[in-house]
Structure 1
């Protein structure tokens, strides 16, 4: 297991290097001049050129890329063009609100989605199945930004029960986490249903039922572990989806997280912040895939890593 993990971590390095190269080139294709934005719209051409030279944007792209990679290897993400602060510090201030929102959304959506999926599979083609799948399809079909605005209108504007701006208390997490996790819960419900139906048609499950084992024990003991492997795979993919989807939700709820920071950085053409955030998102997604692979062995001891 340890050797497998080390190999996977080493395998991350080429992927991260490709991400660094792609993001570096992509952000420089964005329209607008970051030197002009940093100097101010009223600055003359000489001042803009001085700012461009100070920021190192006057150097050829290969030189800029080399300098950026060298700084990364030394743990330096650069300095924000907009705030003149270290990028690592800027991101660190916004990291925890986004991470907590993602984790809370993931926990409730996975639990809720799996319960709905299991109920649908046990009562397949009956009214509980139809009701649960109707809820699942509704959750997928409703865009996150629209759901967020509806929740704000009902629970904040009309009822006045929940706040909509900030992340200073547990109540601030309720509406954003519901908005962010609704689609994930729906996907998990449909995927869990399909996985459980497939496993429940296996011979060993039929044998257990023929022996008079209760349906609850059949689901909990004979079906759950074998059906969980593809579900765990989907959980990892959906966690990555939540990290990306948080950008829209953070804008809707004015959330002080990394998503809104990325929007501000793109607007200001703040290259170092954009590169740092995308690199962090990519690393998190790769790390999630590694964790999912390790969980396979915990769920099914028959899996061996080489």
Structure 2
């Protein structure tokens, strides 16, 4: 497993290099002039020239490309065009709120999603199954921004129980995490149900029941482990999407996370921030996929890595 792990880590390097090249040229293709946004719409050409020189945008694109990669290999992501602060500082301040929100959303989504999925599989084609799948379809179909505004209207405006914006206390996490985790819980329920339905018809399940084992032991001990591999794969992908920052949810709740930072960076054509965030999102997905692959061996010891 160690050899497999090290080989996968080495595979990060060419992937991240390709992503870096693509995102560099992509952001420079965006319409709009960052210097104009910084200097203001009424700035004259002399002021614009000074701003472009200060930002390094007056240099030819190949020279900017070389400069970007030279600083990148040194661990320097540059300075934000919008705030003139180091990009690493900008991202570090926004990363923890997004991470905590993602973890909160994933915890309740996994618990409720797996519970609904297992119950739907065990009581297949009966009312728990129909109710669970109705909730799952509703969770997937209902737009996140609409759910967020509905929850705010009920629990913040109507009842006055929970705050609407900010991330200052644990109460601020309730509504955004419910909004962010609803679709994940719905997908989790459907994946868990489908996986459990397949496992419930396996020979080892019939054997366990024939031995007289309690149905709860059969479900939780024998079926759960064998049904988890596709579920864990989906969990890893969903966690990567959430950690990348749910732009819609962070915008609705004015959440100070990386998703909101990306929206602001695109609006202001903040090239260094956009490049660093996309690179960070790519690294997150690669590492999460690696962790998921390693978890396969923990869930099913018969899996061998090569």
Partner of 1:279: 279
Counterparts of 1:216 and 1:92 in 2: how far apart (Å)?
45
Q: 2:121 maps to what in 1? A: 121
Of 237-246 and 68-77, more deviation after overlay is shown by: 237-246
- Contact 1:87 1:273 (8 Å CA) reproduced: yes
Which residue does 1:196 correspond to in 2?
196
Output aligned runs, 1:84-103, within 5 Å: 84-103=84-103
**Cα distance between partner residues in 2 of 1:262 and 1:31:** 16
Shift of 1:245: 5.5
Per-residue CA deviations over 1:14-71 (Å, capped at 9, x if unaligned) read 1111111121111111111001111222211011012112211122222212211111
Q: Post-superposition shift, 1:211?
A: 2.2
Residue 243 of structure 1 and its aligned partner are, at CA, apart by: 2.8
**What SS does structure 1 have at the residue aligned with 2:275?**
helix
Aligned to 2:27: 27
TM-score between the two structures when normalised by the length of structure 1: 0.98
How many pairs were matched up?
306
1:56 and 2:76 correspond: no
Distance 1:60 1:144 in 2: 42
User: Contact (CA 8 Å) 2:245, 2:257: kept in 1 or not?
Assistant: no
Question: Which residue of the partner structure matches residue 164 of structure 1?
Answer: 164
Query: Deviation per CA, 1:60-113, whole angstroms, max 9, x where unpaired?
Result: 222212211111111101001111110000111111001100111011101110
Runs (4+) of structure 1 moved beyond 6 Å? none
Q: What RMSD in Å do the two structures reach over aligned CA positions? A: 1.0
User: Aligned-pair distance for 1:244?
Assistant: 4.2
Unpaired runs of at least 5, structure 1: none
Residues 155-206 of structure 1: CA distance to partner in whole angstroms, max 9, x if unpaired?
0001000001110100000000000000000000000000011011111111
Q: TM-score scaled by structure 2?
A: 0.98
Further displaced range: 53-62 or 43-52:
53-62
Inter-partner Cα distance in structure 2 for 1:247 and 1:16: 23
Query: 1:265, 1:271 within 8 Å by CA — same for their partners in 2?
Result: yes
